A = this chain, B = another copy of it.
């Protein structure tokens, strides 16, 4: 099996590559070659008996995607993309990378005339308020950001290209990934990770929204698990509706904090400082809360079942 990972230098990309290197196989078949692509150089990994290559370039370039696809990867993890805040701030960049880049990749596959499995990371950002208490699998997508719009268009292309037999696509709508490792960022969602990560690292964290806010989370480890499951799943089992809401843990911010206390103690939790920020809350208020994700669960996609587990994954992976 030849595997291609786009966006391989990103947070999820790096963890996926580490998992692939550890497993040495995908969908029960050994990895013979692993191609890593990003706009910056991804870290090279070694896999026994496998050739690994790192490519640096612009995903929204026909030359780049043609070259990557000409190597005929059997499984393509298409993670490359501009994040939500950047796509909103820079209209042209977001459409170029998230829409044109995805379409160019899919078209290169179409014209290469073979039928690889393509795993596309979509997002719950395809949904827009107002929401029911629990969002069903067939909830209608009405994105409220350019990022969500671009992901929705990628999903639509994936479905049509799959229906026409050009590729064998699976789109996975990721919930918020928590706890993100690394430094705080300026994303409006940053505090969901920050209130766990900073206290565990002995630093103060700001909580800008009420403790009653509900949101759905999965760990980076689960996100990688979703990708691996999507790479191996039988497309006939999934049927024609190829874009799936991933499962996660739906909790209030208060419940996040209680989980942190159970895992790490009250001293850690005391580092969280409440500082209501109406600007942040006005954004977060329009975000999805809980997801049913019944189809994904039935298809074997697994997330944590409590926020305690999510905290523990961070401790194990980042602080061990």
Q: Which residues of A are in contact with B by a Cβ distance under 8 Å? A: 91, 128, 138-144, 146, 149, 152-153, 156-157, 159-160, 163-164, 240-241
Contacts and interface: CB of A to CB of B under 8 A. Distances in A.
14 contacts: A91-B164, A139-B140, A140-B140, A140-B141, A142-B159, A142-B240, A143-B156, A144-B240, A146-B160, A146-B164, A149-B156, A149-B159, A153-B156, A156-B156
B163 A144 contact: yes
A212 B152 CA distance: 35
Contact of A241 (B142, B149, B152): B142
A146 B160 CA distance: 6
Nearest to A147: B160
B240 A128 contact: yes
Given A128-B240, A138-B140, A142-B159, 19 more contacts: A91-B164, A139-B140, A140-B141, A141-B141, A142-B240, A143-B159, A143-B160, A144-B163, A144-B240, A146-B160, A146-B164, A149-B156, A149-B159, A149-B160, A152-B156, A153-B153, A153-B156, A153-B157, A156-B156
A291 to B, nearest CB: 14
Contacts of A153: 153, 156-157
A143 B128 CA distance: 20
Of A128, A146, A153, A163, chain B has the most CB atoms within 10 Å of the CB of A153
A151 to B, nearest CB: 10
Nearest to A139: B140
A181 B240 CA distance: 35
Nearest to A166: B91
Contacts of A149: 156-157, 159-160
A118 to B, nearest CB: 16
A81 B60 CA distance: 26
Nearest to A148: B160
Contacts of A163: 144
Contacts of A241: 142
Contacts of A159: 142-143, 149
Nearest to A241: B142
Contacts of A140: 138-141
A153 B139 CA distance: 17
A164 B148 CA distance: 13
Contacts of A128: 240
A301 to B, nearest CB: 19
Of A141, A159, A160, A241, chain B has the most CB atoms within 10 Å of the CB of A160
A242 to B, nearest CB: 9
A110 to B, nearest CB: 8
A167 B117 CA distance: 38
Contacts of A144: 163, 240
A232 B141 CA distance: 26
A81 to B, nearest CB: 16
A218 to B, nearest CB: 22
